[in-house]
Structure 1
Amino acid sequence: MSRRLEGKRLLIATHNAGKLKEIGALLAPYGIECLSAGALGLAEPEETGTTFVENAILKARAAAKAAQMPALADDSGLSVAALGGRPGVYTADWAERQWFEGPSGRDWYMAMGKVEGLLCELGPAADRSCWFSCVLALAWPDGDSAVYEGRVEGTYSWPPRGTMGFGYDPVFVPQGKDITFAELAPEEKHRISHRADAFAKLVADQFGA
């Protein structure tokens, strides 16, 4: 058992509204009030880690120290078998616009297209199996931390389908389903996602008997 959370307020180290909403929904049953790093105006630290674990801990510790309260960071991404596990830890980078491409921000449709383009180059026999990974890092202002890892298997589908979810959700068909994450009702996605898997471990550790 890791160090337990005290109090009912938790800083979520993200500027992503979709991610904040999903994490907030998962923690709501435990009476946790979620605040975002974006709402507090905290800077996003440079993600210099080469693994999901390293980046999650880096973000959680930076937020906890800046706000002087416990912070939870999520580092997650999509890995495609035929691409040697890419984009993996660089999942969000593949959606980053360059300065000459217009307004800053993330273009997820462009990122999904990059993956599809690489798969097409490999031909129709390319292995489209893929998985989402999620690492949750919980950190305290004194630097103490705990890590929880989750994963969900699936298939890379094209073209994108669905309007719910975010990121690569429109091209990810979870194992045992015939629709994408972006077509699933949010409550169903919350039950089977990589983030749900990681949260189940966090909940058992932090709120279990």
Structure 2
Amino acid sequence: MELIFATNNAHKLEEVQLMVGEQFTLKSLADIGCEDDIPETGVTFQENAKQKTDYLIAKYGVNCFGDDSGLEIDALNGEPGVYSARYSGSRDMEKNIDLVLERLGDTENRSARFKTVISLFLNGEQHFFEGTVEGNIIKERIGTAGFGYDPIFIPHGYEHTFAEMSMEEKNRISHRAQAIAKLVEFLKG
């Protein structure tokens, strides 16, 4: 089965393709010739994920899914949240991480969570799947794998950041892995 994944993030596409396996072929926005910057103006992850699929349905009429993910930090009242990708005012993740670390300073409460919501449009119906992983923000970057805030996030029960984990290890526990697992279970069912 072919599904369009509303992303041009090669890391994310590779990560998700690994999780869904060979029974599904994922195509990116670039694969269907979509160079548009799909709006993300919602105030929740679900609204943003739905905006992506709604856009693809309206413009291309394809079975597709889109996700919105982000980091919610308790001491920052849930920030960066839906603004995770552009928290510093740009899409430069180094600047976004710097801003998170600056705003947290020496705060002791460093609890946080990564959250993903997937919106699937399949055969005329919309479905949502969610995943969350709890953890803590550390005071400096560690690791070079992964992307986004991975170098400063240690999931509960682990001693390493997401950026220190192999893609396979991260995919067993991540927020996106949980949401994708629910998506795959639904598609297989």
Secondary structure class of the residue paired with 2:32: coil
Per the alignment, do residues 137 and 119 of structure 1 end up closer, same or farther by CA in structure 2, a change over 3 Å counting?
same
1:188 aligns to what? 169
Structure number with larger C-alpha Rg: 1
For residue 163 of structure 2, give the secondary structure of its aligned residue in structure 1. Answer: coil
Q: TM-score, normalised by structure 2?
A: 0.93
Could you say which residue in structure 2 is the equivalent of 1:83? 76
Q: Unmatched 5+ residue regions in structure 2? A: none
Over 3 Å counting, the alpha-carbon distance change for 1:95 and 1:28 in structure 2 is farther
Cα drift, residue 206 of structure 1: 1.9
Which of 105, 110, 124 aligns to 1:128? It is 110
Q: For each residue in 1:167-204, what CA deviation from the matched residue of structure 2 results, as whole angstroms up to 9, or x when unmatched?
A: 11111101111110010011010010001111222222
What is the alpha-carbon root mean square deviation over aligned residues?
1.5
2 CA distance for matches of 1:20 and 1:141? 22
Determine the C-alpha separation between the residues in 1 that align with 2:11 and 2:29.
Answer: 13
| 1:32-47 paired onto structure 2 within 5 Å | 32-42=24-34, 43-47=36-40
- Quickly say closer, same or farther: Cα 1:46–1:141, change in 2 above 3 A: farther
The separation in 1 between residues aligned to 2:137 and 2:66, in whole angstroms, is 26
Give the percent of matched residue pairs that are identical in Structure 1 and Structure 2: 40
Aligned residue pair count: 188
Alpha-carbon distance between aligned partners in 2 of 1:16 and 1:96, rounded to the nearest angstrom: 19
Partner secondary structure for residue 46 of structure 1: coil
Shift of 1:116: 0.6
**Alignment of structure 1 residues 7-46 onto 2, 5 Å:** 8-29=1-22, 31-42=23-34, 43-46=36-39
